[in-house]
Amino acid sequence: MNAPEKLSIEKSVPGRRGVRFAKPSQPASAWLPAGARRQAPPRLPELGEFDVVRHYTRLSRLNFCLDTHLYPLGSCTMKYNPRANEAIAGLDGFAAAHPAAPDAAVQGTLEVLHRLEKLLCELTGLAAFTLQPAAGAHGEFTGILIAAAHHRSRKDRKRTEVLVADSSHGTNPASAAMGGFTVKTVASRPDGRLDLAALKAALGPQTALVMLTVPNTLGLFESQIREIAAAAHAAGALLYMDGANFNALMGLAKPADFGVDILHLNLHKSFSTPHGGGGPGSGPVGVAAGLEQFLPVPRVALEKGQFVLKTKIPGSIGRMRSCAGSVAVAIKAYAYLRGHDGQTLRSIAENAILNANYARVKLQDLFPPAIDEPCMHECVLRTEPEKMNGLKTLDVAKRLLDHGFYAPTIYFPLIVHEAIMIEPTETETRETLDAFVAAMRAIHAEALADPEKVHAAPHTLPVRRLDELGAARSPNVSWT
């Protein structure tokens, strides 16, 4: 096992310095009130500059990241994103622009935002987009408010319920509840798709919206989505599509053709922005014709040859944030889309689907799929503790770290017992997938031959298996 990495304070040597500052012209007591001054200097590490460089470089090499490892987090689309797009978004004309700059000073940025909206409309078939939401869940909440505004405009105030598929992302019911709606869950059929009969039984004059994640969290396309849309519309409700998994659909299908009224996309999942750790993100929302008036302001518009941010639009739900959107993320998405033609975008979706099914087929004899049929962008497999000496999904995930792979998403979706959700994405090679499959198969063999070795994993990392319940309930985030 590797030796534990010492903290910087443990490496401290009195008097060692990386930077020496000039003495101030007058003591702090001359300008800082007594109540704001420390009585004793803080205990900080004393290290030379080279010590600091080596310390943080070593720490960075302990990270699992896309630059160093396969990162198959299901439902997250942790794929390689071209560095060229980062450089484009970092150009001074974009990066140095102030969010409150007058429209005339940021014509190039506004043009990119305007063009990106049009490209997203072309990809989805929807009539209009807003780039304002900061992430997927924020997009969902925006869509909920748009649906509420639509029903208010029709003086239809009886619609207080939102129906959510049990195979949807967990943020869907949370967003609906935040929007003031009562949430009702609609069950899936044994094949993992929404039960149309159950949906029809739940629909009524009280239904404002039906929310679906497409493809759903089982990695499956809702094959009856046209019938679902027709049933929702017949009841006077709208159909919302969670498009976070759109990298399995782009170039292959347009949600508007299914009857979708509102959807959000995750630019940070499908369109070239690395994500994780809370950001950055962008969750644009698209709407069908007739709902455009409710989109949040500001809206980018072209008027008399100039791009402007319109802030007064009758019917709009108002601002969802202080700025026009996550501009850097939008610029990267625009560069990504302009760098591919329609056929290439289609091939991206096709390769994402191919990779997920490759992993599914290579592992299905040891880790059976939740639904035994071809999947889309991700496959959901299961561990079988009764056939693995009682070892569970968590044990497999921890042991994968020793094999040099970040663990897939585990225990999600909640409707699958001992779930392992694997999303290889379109950017991983067959050789990488073969190595991952080999590691999973080796772990299964270890579970039969030496279960304690798997149960005690990881063995090669500086931090061993944690008491996760204790860490969650009584976190210790300080060093003494």
pLDDT tens digit sequence for 82-127:
999 999 999 999 999 998 999 999 999 999 999 999 999 999 999 9
Does residue 122 sit in the same domain as residue 25?
Answer: no
- Residue 49: pLDDT band with limits 50, 70, 90: very high
Please return the burial class of 132, using the count of CB atoms within 10 Å of its CB with bins 0-12, 13-18 and 19+.
Answer: buried
Residue 6 lies in a domain: no
- Residue 3: pLDDT band with limits 50, 70, 90: low
Residue 79 lies in a domain: no
Q: What's the pTM? A: 0.90
pLDDT tens digit sequence for 227-241:
999 999 999 999 999
Spatial separation of the C-alpha atoms in residues 418 and 179, rounded to whole Å? 32
| Helices and strands of the chain, counted as H and E runs | 15, 12
Q: Are 421 and 411 in contact (CB under 8 A)?
A: no
Residue 73 lies in a domain: no
Quote the pLDDT of residue 278.
Answer: 65
The CATH number for 320's domain is 3.40.640.10
- Span 349-365, average pLDDT: 98
Does residue 331 sit in the same domain as residue 360?
Answer: no
Between helix 107-124 and helix 327-338 the angle, nearest 10°, is: 60
Q: Are 299 and 309 in contact (CB under 8 A)?
A: yes
- Span 254-272, average pLDDT: 95
Does residue 170 sit in the same domain as residue 36?
Answer: no
Provide the domain limits for residue 377.
Answer: 350-466
Does residue 355 sit in the same domain as residue 432?
Answer: yes
Does residue 223 sit in the same domain as residue 320?
Answer: yes
Residues 6+ apart with CB under 8 A from 426: 79, 247, 348, 349, 351, 352, 355
DSSP label at residue 22: P
Does residue 174 sit in the same domain as residue 303?
Answer: yes
Q: Are 135 and 266 in contact (CB under 8 A)?
A: yes
Q: Are 345 and 251 in contact (CB under 8 A)?
A: yes
Residue 44 lies in a domain: yes
- Span 371-396, average pLDDT: 97
Q: Identity (one letter) of the amino acid at 272?
A: S
Residue 461 lies in a domain: yes
The CATH number for 370's domain is 3.90.1150.10
What pairs with residue 420 in β-bridges? 381, 410
Angle CA 145–325–262, to nearest 5: 35
SS3 238: strand
Q: Which pair of structure tokens corresponds to residue 200?
A: 């029809």
Where is the domain boundary, 287, 309, 338?
Answer: 338
Does residue 147 sit in the same domain as residue 276?
Answer: yes
Residue 177 lies in a domain: yes
Domain count, the chain: 3
In the chain, what's the furthest Cα-to-Cα distance? 79
CA 187 and chain centroid, separation = 24
318 vs 464: which has the higher pLDDT: 318
Where is the domain boundary, 338, 369, 397?
Answer: 338
Residues 6+ apart with CB under 8 A from 120: 126, 129, 265, 284, 286
Does residue 300 sit in the same domain as residue 402?
Answer: no
Q: Which pair of structure tokens corresponds to residue 71?
A: 């990162």
Quote the pLDDT of residue 2.
Answer: 58
Q: Which pair of structure tokens corresponds to residue 4?
A: 């534990």
Does residue 266 sit in the same domain as residue 373?
Answer: no
Does residue 312 sit in the same domain as residue 366?
Answer: no
Does residue 370 sit in the same domain as residue 302?
Answer: no
Residue 248 lies in a domain: yes
SS3 44: coil
Spatial separation of the C-alpha atoms in residues 10 and 301, rounded to whole Å? 57
- Residue 277: pLDDT band with limits 50, 70, 90: low
Whether the per-residue pLDDT at 39 is higher than 90: the answer is no
Spatial separation of the C-alpha atoms in residues 135 and 186, rounded to whole Å? 25
Spatial separation of the C-alpha atoms in residues 458 and 396, rounded to whole Å? 10
Residue 474 lies in a domain: no
pLDDT tens digit sequence for 139-164:
999 999 999 999 999 999 999 999 99
- Residue 16: pLDDT band with limits 50, 70, 90: very high
Spatial separation of the C-alpha atoms in residues 79 and 422, rounded to whole Å? 13
Where is the domain boundary, 338, 362, 391?
Answer: 338
Does residue 200 sit in the same domain as residue 326?
Answer: yes
